[in-house]
Chains A and B, each alone.
Chain A
C-alpha cells in the first residue's frame, strides 16, 4: 500500500507542470463551490442576516413547502423550461451547423474573418448587449422602423414590453451573441480529424454531403454528446444576466426565470432562507437532469461523461 502511494507521489512530482495547472482550479473549487455549500443549511432555518447563524431557529421544510405553494414559483419554472427548451431544440444545433459550414469554406482568409466576427459579440457584456437589444427593439428602434417601412405594421410595437415576444427575444439575442463562440469547440474538434479519412473517402467516391455526414459528424459526435449533456443539466439555470437586462414590469409574466425568482426573493425581498431553499431544490433537480441526460446519451450514442 505504501509503495503504491509513494508511486503516486512520484508521478505527482514528475508531472509537476501539469499538476500546477490543475491545483489552483481545485483550490478555487473547494473555496467557491464546496465551502459555500455549507450555507445551504440556512434553507432549513429562519436565518436573519442581522444575527449569528447559530441563533437562527431550525424550521425544517417550511421554506420548501412555502415555495411549492407559491404561484410565482410555478410560473418561473414554466418560463425557465420554456426558454430552455427553445434554446435546446432550436439553439443547440446552430453552432454545429455553423461549424460545419465554416469547415466547407476553402478561402482561408474569408473563413477566419467570418469566424472572428461571429464570436466577437461573446466578449460584450450582457449589460451592454442587452442595452443594444433594448434600443433595437424599442420605440424608434431599427426593427420597428424596418417593419414600418416594409408596411408590416402600422403602429410601433414595443416588443420588449409585450410578454408574448419575450421567449423569442431571449432565444434570438442569445443565439446572436453566443453561437459563434460555441462553435469554436466544434471547429477545434473538426480540425482534429485526420485528413486521411477524407482523402480515403474521396477516393471511394464520397461527395461533400456524404463526407460531412459520415466523417465530420461522426468524428465530432462525442463532443456533441458531452455538450448536450451539459446543456440539459443547465436547463434550470437560464441566462440570468440576459433576462435581468431585458425584463421589466410589462413582460415579467413570461420573463421571470428561476434564477431571477431566486434573486428577487433573496436579495430584493431579503428572504435569504427562502431563496436558498429554492436554490437547493433547483440544484437537486439539475443533478437529476445531468444523470438522466448522461444515461440517455450513453444508451443512444455510447458517448457519456461518466
Chain B
C-alpha cells in the first residue's frame, strides 16, 4: 500500500514537471513569434500623428518621453546616459532616454543567453564579427531596418549611406544593422585617413639610447633584445618586459604579425594560407631563438588584461605589437611624467626577407559594431526614428560635439570645439567624457566621414603613431576581414577546432628547445589541421572572397 502511494506520488510529480516544462517551451516560442507581424501592421500607428515625410526626420513628430534599453557589446564600456551634458541634451531634444546595458563577460555569450530567454534589449550594438550577430538576423530576433524605415521613417534611407546598407544586405533583401566606423576604400583613398590601427611600438628613450637599432631583420631584432638584456634590464626597480603582442596568439602573433611582414592574403586570385608563409615561419623561429636565449619571457602569452595594463602604464614594455588606439590615454600620461621620453613611438618592426614595408589592416566596410533594433522592443517606431536621428548629420553633431554655444561654436561656418574642451581632451579625457560626454564617449553610431572633420588636432605623441599607421595601411585589404566561417555549420566547427589548436601550438613553437623541435611541432600541427578538414575551410574562404568581390563590383 505504502509503495503504491509512493509510486502514485512520483507519477504525479513527473507529470507536473513534464507539463510545466512543455508549457515553458511553448511560451517562449510564442513570445518569439508574435512580434513578427508588428511592422507590417500599419494600423498600429498612434492616431492623429501625421505621416512621416521622406524628406524630413520623423523624430520631431513625437518627442514624448520614452525609455530605450541599449545593449553595448563591450564589457569595458563604462559610460552612462543621463549624467553627461550631451546625453541630457539629446534626451531633452528627442524625448528618448537611453539605458545602457553591458555584458559582464563576453558579449557573444551574453546575447546568446538573452536569445534563449527571448527577451532582448531594444537596441543592440555588437561587434560585427561576433557569431551572435548572424544568429540575431537568421533567428528573426531583430527588425529589418528597411521595413521599419519604410513604415515609420523613410528619412532613414537619406541618411544611412547607401553603400553600407548595401554591404550589409542579406540574401532576402533586408538589412538588419547599421555599422559604425565603416570605411569604404574610396573614402580612404580620397582622404588619406585609413583608420589603420596596427602599429609596432617601441619605448622612445630606450630606442634612442640604444642608437636606434634596426629591428626589421631577425639579426637586428635579436641584437636589440640582447642589448636590452645586458644594459637595460630594469626600469624603476622593476624588470623590463621585452615584448608584448596584443591578444597574443589569435591576434598579435598571427594576423597582426603577418601584416607587419606583408604576407599576402591571396596569390593569383587564390586565397593564401598565410600561416605557412616562409617569412612568417622565419620570424616565429626568431621568437623561439629569443626565448631560448632568455631574451624574452612567455609572460605575454599568459598575462591577463590587468597585468598588461599595469605594465603599460608603468612603461615596462620595451616593444609592442599593438594597436595605437590602445595608447591614446597612456602616451600623454607618460610624456607628462618625470621621464618625458618614456612614451611609445611607432617604428618599423619585423619585415619580410624582401624588406617590404608593412601592410597594415585598414578600416573596412564591416566597420566595428553593428546596431540593431530587437523585436522585443515595445517602441519600434521610436527606435528607428532615434537611430535615423543619430545617423543623420544633426545627430552626429549633437552626439560628437554637444550643444551649440555650450561646448562648441560656429567659426567661419564650421563647428569648432571650445578651447576649454580641447584643453580637457589633452589633460583630462575622463572628465571630458563623464561630464560633457562629447567626442568619442558615445561611439555606437559614429560615422567617421562626418565626425572626423570636427576632430581637434591630436597631440603629437598620438599623431606620430597614427600617421605611421596611415602611411603603411593597405587600403584595399579591408575585403579580407573575417573570411573565416563562423557559427555552427560543420565547416565553422572545423575552423574553430583548428584555430583553438593553433592557440595551443604557437606557445609550443616559441618554447621549443631547438629548430628541429619547432619543425616537428609545426608539421604535426599541419597534419592535424588536415585531418580536421582544413581544405573545406579553404574552400569556404575562397567562395566568400569571390562573393565579396562581386559585391564590391556592384
Instruction: Indicate if the CB atoms of A250 and B141 lie closer than 8 Å.
Output: no
| A267–B302 alpha-carbon span in the complex (Å) | 22
B239 CB-CB contact with A under 8 Å: yes
Q: Contact check, B112 vs A249: say whether CB atoms are below 8 A apart.
A: no
* Mask of A136-150 contacts with B, CB within 8 angstroms, 1/0: 001110000000000
The reply to whether B1 and A4 contact each other, CB–CB distance below 8 Å, is yes
Q: A155 to B29, Cβ gap below 8 A?
A: no
- Tell me which residues from 485 to 515 in chain B have a Cβ below 8 Å from any Cβ of chain A: 487-488, 493, 496-497, 500, 503-504, 506-507, 511
Residue-wise, chain A 1-16 has the 8 Å CB interface mask toward B (1 for contact) of 1001100000000000
13 contacts between A and B (CB under 8 A): A38-B25, A48-B135, A50-B140, A134-B304, A138-B307, A139-B297, A249-B302, A249-B506, A249-B507, A250-B301, A253-B504, A269-B500, A270-B108
Q: Which of B18, B298, B504 contacts A252 (CB 8 A)?
A: B504
Contact of B29 among A48, A52, A139, A249 (CB under 8 A): A52
CB distance from B183 to the nearest CB of A (A): 29
Report if A51 contacts B (CB, 8 A): yes
With known contacts A161-B302, A249-B249, A249-B302, A269–B20 Cβ distance under 8 A: no
Which of A30, A72, A155, A161 makes the CB contact (< 8 A) with B294? A155
Q: Is there an interface contact between B116 and A49, defined as CB atoms closer than 8 Å?
A: yes
A30 contact set on B, CB distance < 8 A? 17, 20
In the complex, which residues of chain B have a beta carbon less than 8 angstroms from the beta carbon of A54? Answer: 29
**Chain A CB within 10 Å — which of B33, B109, B488 has the most?**
B488
In the complex, the answer to whether A35 meets B504 with C-beta atoms within 8 Å is no
Give the interface size class of chain A: 35 or more
| List of A residues within 8 angstroms of B248 by Cβ | 249
Name A55's closest neighbour in chain B (CB-CB): B29
Known: A161-B302, A249-B248, A249-B507. 11 other contacts (CB 8 A): A1-B1, A49-B115, A50-B141, A134-B304, A134-B307, A138-B302, A139-B239, A158-B299, A248-B302, A250-B511, A267-B106
Q: How far is the CA of A103 from the CA of B116 in the complex (A)?
A: 51
Other-chain residue from A52, A72, A270 in contact with B487 (beta carbon distance below 8 A): A270
Mark out the residues of chain B between 123 and 148 whose CB falls within 8 Å of any chain A CB in the assembled complex: 131, 135-136, 138-141
- Residues of chain A lying within 8 A (CB to CB) of residue B153: none
Query: Are A269 and B493 neighbours in the complex by a CB distance under 8 Å?
Result: yes
Inter-chain contact B488/A48, CB cutoff 8 Å: yes
Smallest beta-carbon distance A139→chain B, Å: 5
Q: Is B381 at the interface (CB under 8 A from chain A)?
A: no
A34 at interface, CB cutoff 8 A? yes
How far does the alpha carbon of A49 sit from the alpha carbon of B137 in the complex, in Å? Answer: 12
Q: Which residues of A contact B496 (CB under 8 A)?
A: 269
Q: Determine whether the beta carbon of A250 is less than 8 Å from that of B298.
A: yes
Q: A1 vs B507: C-alpha distance in the bound complex, in angstroms?
A: 71
Residue A264 interfacial (CB < 8 Å): yes
Q: B379: CB under 8 A from chain A?
A: no
List the A side residues contacting B140 at CB < 8 Å: 50
How long is the Cα–Cα vector from A161 to B291 in the complex, in angstroms?
A: 14
State how many angstroms separate the Cβ of B369 from the closest Cβ of chain A: 19
Q: Answer whether residue B516 sits at the interface, using C-beta atoms and an 8 A cutoff.
A: no
Centre residue among A131, A134, A161, A271 by max chain B CB count within 10 A: A161
Contact B488 A270 (CB under 8 A): yes
**6 pairs of A and B residues whose beta carbons are closest in the complex:** A50-B139, A38-B21, A50-B135, A248-B302, A161-B302, A50-B138
Most chain B beta-carbon neighbours within 10 Å: one of A52, A156, A160:
A52
Complex alpha-carbon distance, A181 and B507, angstroms: 37
Q: Are A271's CB and B29's CB within 8 A?
A: no
- A131, A139, A155: the one contacting B299 at CB < 8 Å is A139
Residues of B within 8 A of A252 (CB): 503-504
Partner of B298, one of A34, A131, A161: A161
The answer to the question of A120 belonging to the interface, with a C-beta cut-off of 8 Å to chain B, is no
Q: Which A residues are in CB contact (< 8 Å) with B527?
A: none
Which residues of chain B have C-beta atoms less than 8 A from A1's C-beta?
1, 5
In the complex, which residues of chain A have a beta carbon less than 8 angstroms from the beta carbon of B112?
Answer: 49, 267, 270
- Whether a CB of chain A sits under 8 angstroms from the CB of B24 is yes
Q: B238 at interface (Cβ–Cβ under 8 A)? A: yes
Interfacial chain A residues near B249, Cβ < 8 Å = 249
A249 B503 Cβ-Cβ under 8 A: yes
Q: A49: which B residues are within 8 A, CB to CB?
A: 112, 115-116, 135, 139
Cα(A137)–Cα(B497), bound, Å: 30
Question: Which residue of chain B lies nearest to A247 when distances are taken between CB atoms in the complex?
Answer: B302
B32 at the interface (CB under 8 A from A): yes
Also in contact, A264 and B17, with CB within 8 A (given A140-B238, A155-B294, A158-B298): no
Q: A97 contacts the other chain (Cβ, under 8 Å)?
A: no
Decide if A161 touches B487 in the complex (CB within 8 Å).
no
Minimum Cβ distance to chain A for residue B540 (Å): 16
Residues of B within 8 A of A (CB): 1, 5, 17-18, 20-22, 24-25, 29, 32-33, 106, 108-109, 112, 115-116, 131, 135-136, 138-141, 238-239, 248-249, 294, 297-299, 301-302, 304, 306-307, 487-488, 493, 496-497, 500, 503-504, 506-507, 511
Are A52 and B488 in contact, CB atoms less than 8 angstroms apart? no
Complex CA distance for A138 and B307, rounded to whole angstroms: 10
Inter-chain contact B301/A248, CB cutoff 8 Å? yes
Within 90-110 of A, Cβ neighbours of B (below 8 Å) are at none
B residues less than 8 Å from A268 (CB atoms) = 106, 109
CB-defined interface of A30-68 with B at 8 Å, one 1/0 digit per residue?
Answer: 100011001000000000111111100000000000000
Instruction: Give, as a whole number of angstroms, the nearest-CB distance from B529 to chain A.
Output: 13
Cα-based distance from A51 to B131 in the complex (angstroms): 15
Q: Which of A232-271 contact B (CB under 8 A)?
A: 248-250, 252-253, 264, 267-271
Contacts of B307 in A (CB 8 A): 134, 138
A140 adjacent to B20 (CB under 8 Å): no
Tell me the nearest residue of chain A to B112, going by C-beta.
A49
A138 to B308, CA, bound (A): 13
Which of A35, A131, A250, A269 contacts B17 (CB under 8 A)?
A: A35
Please give, as numbers and ranges, the residues of chain A lying within 8 Å of B500 by CB-CB distance.
Answer: 264, 269
Whole-angstrom distance between the Cβ of B119 and the nearest chain A Cβ? 14
Q: In the bound complex, what is the Cα–Cα distance between A49 and B135 (angstroms)?
A: 7
Query: CA of A219 to CA of B34 in the docked complex: distance in angstroms?
Result: 62
- B1 close to A53 (CB less than 8 A): no
Q: Hey, which chain B residues are within 8 Å of A249, CB to CB?
A: 248-249, 301-302, 503-504, 506-507
Q: Nearest chain A CB to B158's CB is how many angstroms away? A: 32
Q: Would A35 and B487 count as touching, CB distance under 8 A? A: no
- CB-CB under 8 A from B302, the residues of chain A are 138, 158, 160-161, 248-250
Given A4-B5, A158-B299, A249-B504, A35 contacting B21 (CB threshold 8 A): yes
A160–B504 Cα gap in the complex (Å)? 15
Question: Which residue of the partner chain B has the closest CB to A267?
Answer: B109
Contacts of A269 in B (CB 8 A): 488, 493, 496, 500
The docked-state distance in angstroms from the alpha carbon of A30 to that of B18 is 11
For B136, list chain A residues within 8 Å (CB): 50
Alpha-carbon distance A224/B348, docked complex (angstroms): 65
Complex CA distance for A134 and B306, rounded to whole angstroms: 12
Residues of B within 8 A of A158 (CB): 297-299, 302
